Amino acid sequence: MKIAISGKGGVGKTTIMALLAELLKRAGKEVLIIDADSSPHMAQTIGITNPGGIVPIAEMKTLLVERSGKTEGSPFYNINPQVDDLLAQFMVEENGLRLMVLGSIETGDSGCACAENTVLRRMLTKMLLKPTQYVLLDMEAGVEHLGRGTIAGVDHLLTVVIPSQSSIRTALKVKKLANDVGIHSVHFVGNRIMEPDDLVFLESGLGEKTIAALPDSKAIRRAERQGQPIPSQLSAVEAEIQKILTALEGTT
């Protein structure tokens, strides 16, 4: 299963994806997290020992151009490049979780055949092999990623929403654009819910129920400030994270 997560900046999407990864790992699943945020920090969130040593795929410009098969003077790229070895070459594994960082992709997906998107799209489509494997994509904040190849082919898109008008507006726009590009399994996840009225406000603005509503967690905030791995705090919100997984498995 391939799951992407989106939402307005600062709503907690990276935290929720890290917690979902931990829940899946504890259930015996093989989990690969892809940090596709232009300002990546998933490595720190899940407790990778040396995050500075991870080389983002998008920074390997020469390799990407070579794999795309572009020749001098030709405007065309190979649409089916060899990428199998890239999965192992740029993947790090620690604490039972695998991580790959895509880095910043500056070109859009508006019909132009660029080396970066050609190789990255091919790589992502080859990742799901067995039912026990999960690929979790932590997308950049906002809606721009919906026009890029990195989100193509996901099974589900989670959109994280906090109790604010701006967050609700962004979430609704994400859902519309996702539907426009053929992603119809879009689910809202409430976060930082402090009281029942917060959830009522959210669901009224969204026009539908959220599949989970995570409370505002002091334990998670404390762990983040102290630089502790966020997955260590799964117990604080485990019931709601399980609701996310149950909802997704029930719509597959």
Per-residue pLDDT of the chain (252 residues; tens, 9 = 90+): 889 999 998 899 999 999 999 999 999 999 999 887 767 789 999 999 888 777 776 666 556 556 555 554 554 444 444 555 666 677 788 889 999 887 654 444 434 435 555 555 666 666 555 778 898 988 877 555 565 555 667 889 999 999 999 999 999 999 998 888 888 899 999 999 999 999 999 999 999 999 999 999 999 999 999 989 999 999 999 999 999 999 998 876
Give the CA count within 13 Å in the CB-facing half-sphere of 144: 11
- CATH code assigned at 91: 3.40.50.300
Range of the domain at 199: 2-250
- pLDDT value of residue 77: 45
- pLDDT value of residue 76: 46
- Could you write out the DSSP letters of every residue in 2-71? EEEEEESTTSSHHHHHHHHHHHHHHTT-EEEEEEE-SS--HHHHHT-S-GGGPPPGGG-HHHHHHHHT--
Number of domains in the chain: 1
pTM of the model: 0.82
